């Protein structure tokens, strides 16, 4: 696939494709969109290295934010922006949907904006070296790591909590409060990503405490962590007429939506059902009831990701930083 | 105030100050911070025009986001980012605190990043022409306008709802539901900004419906729209032992915090107190109870701000776009 193929497929000239890929404004929005869609559909990645040699380096650090409705990412992004500013670089954000391909988006952003480095804020856990070879600058995986993939540890950096262990701790907290019939509301049990990792943590906690695993207590509610999906998933779980006293939910906002589904069906939290989640957003300490949750250190995550990226850009080794979550007590959890 | 004064006050050379102001990375974080703090404290604005003549133009559009905890702004920012991308420009965001000076921040960002245009996402409503003369590129006020200031209409652009009228409509909605003792929870009654405008809308609605204004029903809870401030403000209002059946709150997140304060004091929503707010965040349609609120069209606001800015950058006239809010029914409002 060459630039000529892209131009031909779009019915425009090579120079127009080139202008789009270089982020030049003198192209109509309609043509720009057509070209970028074609680039995405075909997987074409422009090779700019020859041209770049003649250019001065930029001070741009890209941040690809996957999942535009994720409030936790908003927190991380702000701290990352402040740290990038403070260090004299320019942050160039790009927001993509939860289902979009962040590696492709990052590779395009890198070429469009002449990035010096890249932060993936949210992404898949199963990258392959071939896939990541598209990215020609140092990058940091922020809020995730390559648990299911085949990247060599010394070839990428990551800053995140231990998702398996955090889920384990959350479920253990429910067990400590006397719960044994514990449901799990997860986007997917086998997405090779954050959801699978936290689901495995849930299962391990049950196993460790000799609680039999019951498939009927697990609800997969769709891959995108949205509140409507979580609401529907919880509603379906309640219709199953399976007994349970507590629910482990994967994130704060989906837990808030799940609690709404319970209340709408006459189940009170925490009197009838206890709920625990992972995130620790400020807003979930003001909902009724307040949410019991494992708090991820959002600010530290944003700041450490930028620091680590600058180290690597400066020739330092890739590293993997694991941050510690903290349990935040809320009214959604009661002792049986 | 010259660049020499700044250098002297900071104990560094002129070239170091220059490097900081040009956003060059070859300065230590400590020195950068000292210089930027001094620049901010003294109000010094570097004059880069001579040097800029020798440079190629950038494709950067700055977005200064004031109030980093504002979830509504997160929504607007994402849509603005997508639209800026789509049009082939580069978005350079800068996050500042609710109390920071967005004009100064914008003027510094403009020079650091060679902006072509600027969007203020949140800001004061009382700009003067002298103040805005610091900004040398076209700008759009997004989510606010110059209601209390002295800018000529043809010299700036704005995209927002009519805050006075939206507050009026919210309070009228309470009145239509039979409420006459209506409290108001506002950051400030006289900040010459969004809070004052919405407070005036509250008073006008009461007046129009022959409801006597009662100062004891108004609670000023601090200037920053934070959830802790709103929680404390609501708690104080309840301690006053003034009778009221409904509360008008300025934003969704502060309304959620206010409802928490009510519930913590044994007041149920909507059985004892009805609540209405302004914003229309997704999350407030999943809280218990769901919030009745005037929804601001966040996506349209972000998109229209970018479109208008590009028009003005292209030589078009400044314009003022007023978007229509929509009432969203929630469980927090009951008929008396």
Which pLDDT score is estimated for A261?
Answer: 98
Which pLDDT score is estimated for A48?
Answer: 42
Across the strands, what pairs with A279? A295
Q: Is A11 an interface residue toward B (CB < 8 Å)?
A: no
* A291 SS3 class: coil
Q: How many CB pairs under 8 A join A and B?
A: 109
A286, A310, A331: best mutation site toward chain B, by most B Cβ within 10 Å? A286
Which region holds residue A315: left if phi is over 0, alpha if psi is between -120 and 50, else beta?
left
Taking the C-alpha atoms of residue A92 and residue B92, their distance in angstroms, rounded to an integer, is: 6
> With contact defined as beta carbons under 8 Å apart, do A139 and A106 qualify?
yes
Residue B45 has pLDDT above 70, yes or no: no
B263 chain-A contacts, CB cut-off 8 A: 288
Please name the member of A27, A88, A95 whose beta carbon is closest to the beta carbon of B78: A95
A268 chain-B contacts, CB cut-off 8 A: none
A78 chain-B contacts, CB cut-off 8 A: 68, 95
B257 chain-A contacts, CB cut-off 8 A: 286
| Secondary element (H or E) of residue A22 | none
The beta-strand segments (E) located in chain B are 60-66, 90-96, 117-121, 139-142, 157-161, 182-186, 218-220, 246-249, 274-279, 292-295, 320-323, 326-328
- Whether residue A92 and residue B89 make contact (CB cut-off 8 A), yes or no, is no
> With contact defined as beta carbons under 8 Å apart, do A262 and A273 qualify?
yes
Q: Is B299 an interface residue toward A (CB < 8 Å)?
A: no
Which pair of tokens denotes residue A51?
A: 């041209």
Answer whether the bond into residue B155 is a cis peptide, omega within 30°: no
- Whether residue A88 and residue B25 make contact (CB cut-off 8 A), yes or no, is yes
Region B111-137 average pLDDT: 94
Apex A16 CA angle, A12 and A19, nearest 5:
160
* B217 SS3 class: helix
Percent of chain B's residues with pLDDT above 90? 75
Which region holds residue A259: left if phi is over 0, alpha if psi is between -120 and 50, else beta?
alpha
Which pair of tokens denotes residue A156?
A: 């990428």
Region B219-241 average pLDDT: 92
Confidence of residue B163 (pLDDT cuts 50, 70, 90): very high
- Residue of chain B whose Cα is closest to the Cα of A65: B78
For the segment B200-218, what is each residue's pLDDT rounded down to a tens digit?
999 999 999 999 999 999 9
Pairing of strands A274-279, A292-295: parallel
- Whether residue A88 and residue B257 make contact (CB cut-off 8 A), yes or no, is no
Q: Is A177 an interface residue toward B (CB < 8 Å)?
A: no
* Rg of chain B over all Cα atoms, to the nearest angstrom: 22
Which region holds residue B209: left if phi is over 0, alpha if psi is between -120 and 50, else beta?
alpha
> With contact defined as beta carbons under 8 Å apart, do B20 and B32 qualify?
yes
Q: Which residues of chain A have pLDDT under 70?
A: 1, 22-25, 40, 43-57
B253 chain-A contacts, CB cut-off 8 A: 283, 286
Taking the C-alpha atoms of residue B245 and residue B230, their distance in angstroms, rounded to an integer, is: 18
Confidence of residue B148 (pLDDT cuts 50, 70, 90): very high
Mean pLDDT of chain B: 91
B27 chain-A contacts, CB cut-off 8 A: 88
A86 chain-B contacts, CB cut-off 8 A: 29, 32-33
For the segment A273-321, what is each residue's pLDDT rounded down to a tens digit?
999 999 999 999 999 999 999 999 999 999 999 999 999 999 999 999 9
* The CA-based dihedral angle spanning residues A207, A211, A213, A216, taken in that order and rounded to the nearest 10 degrees: -150
Taking the C-alpha atoms of residue B219 and residue B269, their distance in angstroms, rounded to an integer, is: 19
CA atoms within 13 A on the CB side of A183: 27
Q: Is B87 an interface residue toward A (CB < 8 Å)?
A: yes
State whether the Cα torsion B107-B111-B112-B114 is positive or negative: positive
Confidence of residue B93 (pLDDT cuts 50, 70, 90): very high
Which pair of tokens denotes residue B167?
A: 């507050």
Please name the member of B74, B81, B88 whose beta carbon is closest to the beta carbon of A23: B88
Which pLDDT score is estimated for A4?
Answer: 80
Nearest CA to A62 out of B93, B310, B59, B120 is that of B93
Region B242-258 average pLDDT: 96
Q: Is A78 an interface residue toward B (CB < 8 Å)?
A: yes
A20 chain-B contacts, CB cut-off 8 A: 88
- Whether residue B260 and residue A88 make contact (CB cut-off 8 A), yes or no, is no
For A72, list phi and psi in degrees, rounded to 5. -65, -40
DSSP B325: P
Region B227-256 average pLDDT: 96
3-state secondary structure string, A68-131?
Answer: CCCHHHHHHHHHHHHHHHHCCCEEEEEEECCCCCHHHHHHHHHHHHCCCEEEEECCCCCCCHHH
Q: What is the pTM of this model?
A: 0.84
The residue with tokens 């607007």 is: B76
- Whether residue A286 and residue B69 make contact (CB cut-off 8 A), yes or no, is no
Distance (Å) from the C-alpha of residue A253 to the closest C-alpha of chain B?
7
Which pair of tokens denotes residue B273?
A: 């107190």
* B34 SS3 class: helix
Nearest CA to A134 out of A150, A121, A152, A118 is that of A118
Which pair of tokens denotes residue A170?
A: 């959350």
* B312 SS3 class: helix
Chain B stretch 122-151, residues whose beta carbon is closer than 8 A to a beta carbon of chain A: none
A34 chain-B contacts, CB cut-off 8 A: none
- Whether residue B23 and residue A91 make contact (CB cut-off 8 A), yes or no, is no
ipTM above 0.90, yes or no: no
Please name the member of B78, B87, B283 whose beta carbon is closest to the beta carbon of A29: B87
Strand order through the sheet with A139-142: A90-96, A60-66, A117-121, A139-142, A157-161, A320-323
Residue B331 has pLDDT above 80, yes or no: yes
Confidence of residue B48 (pLDDT cuts 50, 70, 90): very low
Confidence of residue B287 (pLDDT cuts 50, 70, 90): very high
> With contact defined as beta carbons under 8 Å apart, do B100 and B257 qualify?
no
């Amino acid at each position: 696939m060459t630039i000529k193929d892209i131009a031909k497929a779009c019915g425009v000239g090579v120079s127009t494709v080139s202008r789009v890929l270089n982020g030049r404004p003198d192209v109509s929005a309609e043509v720009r969109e057509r070209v970028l869609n074609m680039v995405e559909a075909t997987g074409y990645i422009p090779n700019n290295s020859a041209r770049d040699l003649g250019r001065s380096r930029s001070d741009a650090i890209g941040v690809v934010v996957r999942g535009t409705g994720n409030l936790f990412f908003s927190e991380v992004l702000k701290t990352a922006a402040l740290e990038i500013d403070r260090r004299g670089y320019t942050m160039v954000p790009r927001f993509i949907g939860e289902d979009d391909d962040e590696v492709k988006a990052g590779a395009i952003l890198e070429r469009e904006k002449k990035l010096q480095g890249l932060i993936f804020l949210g992404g898949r856990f199963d990258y392959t070296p071939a896939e990541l070879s598209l990215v020609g600058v140092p990058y940091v995986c922020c809020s995730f790591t390559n648990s299911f993939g085949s990247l060599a540890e010394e070839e990428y950096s990551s800053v995140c909590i231990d998702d398996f262990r955090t889920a384990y701790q959350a479920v253990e907290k429910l067990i400590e409060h006397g719960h044994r019939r514990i449901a799990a509301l997860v986007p997917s049990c086998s997405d090779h990503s954050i959801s699978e990792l936290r689901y495995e943590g849930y299962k391990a906690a049950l196993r460790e405490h000799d609680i039999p695993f019951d498939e009927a207590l697990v609800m997969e509610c769709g891959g995108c962590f949205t509140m409507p999906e979580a609401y529907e998933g919880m509603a379906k779980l309640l219709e199953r007429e399976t007994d349970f006293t507590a629910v482990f939910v994967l994130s704060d906002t989906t837990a808030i939506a799940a609690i709404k589904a319970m209340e709408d069906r006459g189940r009170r939290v925490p009197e009838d059902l206890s709920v625990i989640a992972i995130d620790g957003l400020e807003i979930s300490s003001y909902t009724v009831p307040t949410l019991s949750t494992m708090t991820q250190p959002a600010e530290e995550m944003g700041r450490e990701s930028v620091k680590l990226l600058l180290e690597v850009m400066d020739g330092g080794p890739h590293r993997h930083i694991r941050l510690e979550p903290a349990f935040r007590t809320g009214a959604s959890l009661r002792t049986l």
